[in-house]
Amino acid sequence: MKVLAHVHQFPPTHNAGAEWMLHDILHRLVTVHVHECTVITNRPPKRDGMVGPIRVISAMDQRTQRRHWVNADVVITHLDATGQCVIQQRTVDRPLVHLVHNHNQLAYHQVKPRNAQLVVANSDWIRRSIDWTAVGPWPGDAMVVIPPVWPERVVGREGPHDAVVLLNVSKAKGAEVFFDLAEALPGTRFVGVAGAYDTQLRKALPNVEMWKHTADVANVYAQARVVVMPSSYESWGRVAVEAACCNVPCVAGITPGLVETGVPYRFAGVDAVQGGYEPGRWLKHVRGLLDDDDVHVAAGAAAHARSVKLETLAKAQVDDLSHRLERLVR
């Protein structure tokens, strides 16, 4: 079966959670189910080549995109490419599958059942909250595939494991909490890694290192003793799961996605809706993981055990997705 993913961007130049979810799904579809998977991107940077077993091609005009659609058996899309895919489907009759990463996505893009033969939610709560109109829930075919995290991509790098780490130093991801913690713990190393989107915040502090956007997350987690995720919104919580694969505990904001992962060591509020940002509470949880080796080891082991269960679940869900894609093509 020929699977085409028509998206706006893709790793390793764009390393957001949604893009890595797609990458890791396609990787298993190729390596386990022997499907032929191609990705076309409709935004710069322009690059053609292989990302592991997946071919990636720049296709910024509709004619080029249509040529790839005609050659495909089924098309997968999400986020910013949704509108272009709905247009393409009007002229090229191919099953269209939508990956859904937030509870407003289908409504925002005005996706209807006629141009979504299958909807794939990234968590149980997103599946429950899908609402394509104001009058009721999504009436079409839908399933859940949690964002897979394959350990071989995130584990195995040697490092000091001494830092408090935040990936994506933006306001929405809790950069202000991160910098407050750095000021309160001047003797601790902090590493902020630039994200794939949103304005990245900076604060000149002697114990804070600002790293460029990177696909090499194994090196990032090799620096980490604690990962913080003070996010105001997470539909899942990929960073927490990746850290857990590396036995690195996470202190997180209370979001439905992060709660569903079952990974964070402790939760703390971020805004008024979630109980308020309490600096002392964040400091207590982070300091406990920094100062007490026994607590840190136990928290890391518990997180890792949960990540193993999530890996098993993700494999089963991607395998189910493969079967569903095959049924769409028949």
Q: Model-level pTM?
A: 0.95
- pLDDT, one tens digit per residue, over 156-204 is 899 999 999 999 999 999 999 999 999 999 999 999 999 999 999 999 9
CATH class given for the domain over 151-310: alpha beta
Residue 24 burial class via C-beta count within 10 angstroms: exposed 0-12, middle 13-18, buried 19 and up: buried
- pLDDT, one tens digit per residue, over 255-304 is 999 999 999 999 986 654 455 678 889 999 999 999 999 999 999 999 99
Residue 18 has pLDDT above 50, yes or no: yes
According to the model, what pLDDT value does residue 132 have?
A: 58
According to the model, what pLDDT value does residue 237 have?
A: 96
- pLDDT, one tens digit per residue, over 73-114 is 999 999 999 999 999 999 999 999 999 999 989 988 989 888
Tokens 């395998």: give the residue: 319
According to the model, what pLDDT value does residue 129 have?
A: 87
According to the model, what pLDDT value does residue 272 have?
A: 40
- pLDDT, one tens digit per residue, over 34-61 is 999 999 999 999 889 999 999 999 999 9
Q: Which residues pair with 93 in a beta bridge?
A: none
Which helix or strand (DSSP H or E) is residue 125 part of?
Answer: helix 124-129
According to the model, what pLDDT value does residue 273 have?
A: 47
Regarding predicted confidence, which is higher, 230 or 271? 230
Residue type (1 letter), 166 = L
Q: What is the CATH number of domain 2-145?
A: 3.40.50.11930
According to the model, what pLDDT value does residue 270 have?
A: 63
According to the model, what pLDDT value does residue 140 have?
A: 87
- Domain extents in the chain: 2-145, 151-310
**Mean local confidence (pLDDT), 113-137:** 84
Fold matches, 2-145 and 151-310? yes
Q: For 32-114, where are the alpha helices, taking DSSP H only?
A: 62-70, 82-91, 105-108
CB under 8 Å to 279, separation ≥6 — which residues?
177, 180, 184
